[in-house]
Amino acid sequence: MKLIIAIVNNDDYHAVQGEITRNGFSATKLATSGGFLRAGNATLLIGAEDEKVSDVIEIIRRFSSKRTQMVETSPSFANEAFMTMPVEVTVGGATVFVLDVDQFYKL
């Protein structure tokens, strides 16, 4: 048995969760934030049998798309004017951890 911890962008959460459910897996959502943009994320806790881990990871891969987004940088002062410069950053995708589970109880 494995515990899959998947951190996905909020924009991808519903597609990932829906496909995980359609494929017979259960997931618990934790609302989280962090990273460079301090943007909202969804952390999914998914239990799966060892032989099903690759199926879950493939679902997450297919439904967690990377994309670019323009964001304002931190303010700076140039020529006594308040200036910010937009920067293109990559958002989305997923971070996935797979952990061994010693014991599992559904009470």
Distance CA 95, CA 100 (A): 17
- pTM for this predicted structure: 0.77
List the chain domain ranges.
2-100
Instruction: Specify whether the backbone of 79 is left (phi greater than 0), alpha (psi in -120 to 50) or beta.
Output: left
1 close to 99: Cβ distance less than 8 angstroms: no
> Is pLDDT larger for residue 93 or for residue 82?
93
Top-confidence residue, 31 or 60: 60
- Please tell me the predicted confidence (pLDDT) of residue 85: 72
Query: What fold is seen in the domain 2-100?
Result: Alpha-Beta Plaits (3.30.70)
Look at residue 20 and give its three-state secondary structure: helix
pLDDT tens-digit series, residues 16-52: 999 999 999 999 999 887 665 566 789 999 999 999 9
